[in-house]
Amino acid sequence: MDSSKTTYSKLIKTEAKRLGFLSCGISKAEFLEEEAPRLERWLKANMHGEMSYMENHFDKRLDPTKLVEGSKSVISVLLNYFPKEFQRKDSYKISKYAYGTDYHSVIKEKLKALLFFIQNEIGAVNGRAFVDSAPVLDKAWAAKSGQGWVGKHSNLLSKQVGSFFFIAELIVDVALEYDAPVTDHCGTCTACIDACPTQAIVQPYVVDGSKCISYLTIELKNEIPAHFSSQMDHWMFGCDVCQDVCPWNRFSKAHSEPLFNPHPELLSKSKKEWKEITEEVFAEIFKKSAVKRTKFSGLQRNISFLKD
């Protein structure tokens, strides 16, 4: 092994930790052979629902060299978002990842700082940061770099910290020391499959996105199909059920990122108050949140669809 690759890789991982990332893993930038047929089957089965963008850039999703010319390494990072405090139990629910400031901007800043560090340490490195912003298979790259395995609910799982974290990447044109994948530790457990309110996990490791509550409350722009009305489990934005029931999440620890702390009103509102929310209050509570994606009208649609 080239000693400079080892040295640079260690420096990058140390800096990633300093910037607040849970962990950092590195894999070789190459075509994702195993993912290609899996993605093709999923798209052919229409499990992406109205997310037509999933059909675009098939090659780019699988080949990082088509995103960053001459790329040699994919640096994957995890950022914890597990909250210190939670919404009241008798409220309509919002996915924990959306409690605080939109993760896109928070992670992008940290990744830019990491790239700047790499360029300072190594020299003329060309690279690009990805936070859900381009056709990149985040979970596949994080798994390839040994930061966990993709669980039966199709989320990345880590024995150390569970699954309440964001995944992002830097794709760079410098060769580094590559990490090895870890083994799957789901075993015979089917907690996520059994608990999914809409039976969206159609078989282990396969999620029908068009049935997922996160899709129904965020991605779906048309009306939510009526047959889901008794299965929404009071979720008005996103859903955490498959993660909440996962035994590995007993190892989740609260994040230390102030930007992810929620607006106090988000935690205290009752169902009645959510039903009566005004556009002004929505704008105040979700000023910097990912919930803005669904807009005030979208949140209203979701709330009015929920059965008490």
> How many Å apart are CA 293 and CA 308, to the nearest integer?
24
Check 2, 59, 132, 233 and give the catalytic one. Answer: 132
Q: State the burial class of residue 123 (Cβ atoms within 10 Å of its Cβ: 0-12, 13-18, 19+).
A: exposed
CB-CB contact of 152 with 193 (8 Å): yes
Tokens 């290609």, residue located: 36
| Strand, coil or helix: 73 | strand
Burial of 307 (0-12, 13-18, 19+ CB in 10 A): exposed
308 CB neighbour count, 10 Å cutoff: 8
Active site residue 308: no
Check if the beta carbon of residue 122 is closer than 8 Å to that of residue 8.
yes
Q: Give dist(CA 201, CA 29) in Å, integer.
A: 30
Which residues are part of the catalytic machinery? 132
